[in-house]
Chains A and B, each alone.
Chain A
Amino acid sequence: MKLKVNGVEREVEADWRDESLLTVLREHLDLPGTRFSCGIGQCGTCVVHINGAPISSCLVPIKDVAGKDILTIEGLVAQDGSLHPLQQAWIDESVPQCGYCQSGQIMQALALLKENTNPNDADIDNAMKGNLCRCGTYDRIRKSIKRAAIVMGQVR
Chain B
Amino acid sequence: MPQFSRRKFLLSTGWVAGGVTALYALRNKAVAVAPTIIFPDAESGAAWIQIKANGTCHMFFPRVDMGQNANTGLAQIVAEELNVEVEDIDAARPSTSDVPPLAVTAGSMSLTAYSRPIAIAAATLRETMRERAASKLGLPLADILDDIGGFRAAEGPRLSYAELVDNTSSMVEFDGNRPAPLLYTFDAQRDKRQVGRAVKPLGIRDLVTGAPVYTADIPVAGILYGRAIQPPVRNARISSLETGDVANVAGFIQLVREDEFVGVVCKTPGAVDAAMTQIKVTWDLQQPIAQEEIDRLVDVDAAMAKGDLEHILQDEAHRKDIDWDIDLRFDVQVQSHAAQEPRAAIARFDQFSRLEIWTGTQDPFGMKRFAAMDTGLSEDAVVVYPQRLGGGFGGREHYEVERDAVRLARAVKQPVKVQWTRKDEFTASRSRPASAHRLRIAVDEVGNLSDWWYGYISGHVVFARERLPGWLLPVARLADDMGVVKGAISPYGAPHQRVEYNDVDLPIDLGVWRSLNGAPAIFAIESAMDELAVRQGIDAVDFKIAQMHSAHPRLQNCLERVRALSALKALPEGAGYGRGFASGIYDGRCYVAISADVYVDAQAKQIKILHMCCAQDVGMAVNPGQLRAQVESNLVWSIGMALLERFEVADNAIRSSNFDNYKIPRMDDMPSLDIEIIDQPTMPPTGAGEVALVAGPAAIANAIRRASGFRALRLPISFADITANSAE
Binding site for B on A (CB under 8 A): 15-16, 18-20, 23, 26-27, 30-40, 42-43, 45, 72-74, 76-77, 83, 87, 90-91, 94-103, 106, 124-126, 128-142
Contact = CB atoms under 8 A, between A and B. Distances in A.
Given A94-B629, A128-B667, A131-B667, A40 B208 contact: no
Contacts of A103: 210
Nearest to B423: A39
A35 B217 CA distance: 9
A59 B422 CA distance: 14
A138 B672 CA distance: 10
Given A38-B659, A134-B391, A32 B216 contact: yes
26 contacts: A31-B210, A32-B210, A35-B341, A39-B422, A40-B422, A43-B659, A73-B209, A91-B205, A96-B208, A98-B66, A98-B392, A99-B67, A100-B390, A100-B391, A101-B390, A129-B668, A131-B666, A132-B340, A133-B340, A135-B391, A136-B633, A136-B634, A136-B635, A138-B636, A139-B632, A141-B667
A90 B629 contact: no
A133 B635 CA distance: 13
Contacts of A126: 668
B269 interface: yes
Contact of A98 (B388, B626, B634): B388
A87 B659 contact: no
B250 interface: yes
Contacts of B444: none
Given A37-B422, A87-B208, 15 more contacts: A15-B268, A18-B268, A19-B270, A23-B270, A40-B660, A43-B659, A45-B340, A94-B204, A97-B68, A129-B666, A132-B340, A135-B67, A136-B636, A138-B665, A142-B670
A10 to B, nearest CB: 16
Max count, chain B CB within 10 A of own CB: residue among A35, A98, A103, A106: A98
Contacts of A99: 67, 207-208, 213, 388, 390
A106 B633 CA distance: 19
Nearest to B421: A39
B251 interface: yes
B658 A38 contact: yes
Nearest to B675: A139
Contacts, number: 176
Contacts of A45: 340
A136 B388 contact: no
B212 interface: yes
Contact of B210 (A15, A73, A125): A73
A135 B340 contact: yes
B124 interface: no
Interface size range of chain B in the complex: 35 or more
B296 interface: no
B270 A97 contact: no
B670 A139 contact: yes
Among B626, B659, B667, the most chain A Cβ lie within 10 Å of the Cβ of B667
A96 B629 CA distance: 9
Contacts of B212: 32-33
Contact of A136 (B213, B225, B665): B665
B200 interface: yes
A16 to B, nearest CB: 6
A33 B67 contact: no
B204 A15 contact: no
A54 B270 CA distance: 23
A126 to B, nearest CB: 7
Interface of B: 66-69, 198, 200-201, 204-205, 207-214, 216-217, 219, 225, 250-251, 267-271, 338-342, 388-393, 419, 421-422, 625-626, 629, 632-637, 658-660, 664-668, 670, 673
A138 B670 contact: yes
Contact of B209 (A38, A87, A134): A87
Contacts of B69: 97
Nearest to B225: A27
A138 B200 contact: no
A27 B211 CA distance: 14
A20 B270 contact: yes
B208 A137 contact: no
A130 B270 CA distance: 24
A137 B629 contact: yes
Contacts of A141: 667
Nearest to A124: B667
Given A35-B214, A39-B422, A136 B668 contact: no
A32 B340 CA distance: 16
A20 B216 CA distance: 16
Among B212, B268, B634, the one with the most A-chain Cβ atoms within 10 Å of its Cβ is: B268
A129 B391 CA distance: 20
A42 B211 CA distance: 24
Nearest to B665: A136
A125 B636 contact: no
Contact of A37 (B269, B340, B635): B340
Q: Report which residue of A23, A38, A131 has the largest number of chain B beta carbons within 10 angstroms of its beta carbon.
A: A38
A43 B269 CA distance: 20
Contact of A72 (B210, B217, B270, B667): B210
Contacts of A40: 422, 658-660
A26 B268 CA distance: 11
B633 A19 contact: no
B633 A135 contact: yes
B616 to A, nearest CB: 15
B625 A94 contact: yes
A78 to B, nearest CB: 11
A37 B342 contact: yes
Contacts of A133: 340
A134 B340 contact: yes
A142 B271 CA distance: 39
B632 to A, nearest CB: 6
A145 to B, nearest CB: 10
Contacts of B201: 94, 96
Contact of A19 (B68, B269, B388, B626): B269
A142 B629 CA distance: 14
Contact of B67 (A74, A91, A97): A97
Contacts of B204: 91, 94, 96
Contact of B208 (A42, A83, A97, A100): A83
A88 to B, nearest CB: 8
Contacts of A100: 214, 339-341, 390-391
Nearest to B270: A19
A127 B668 CA distance: 10
A96 to B, nearest CB: 4
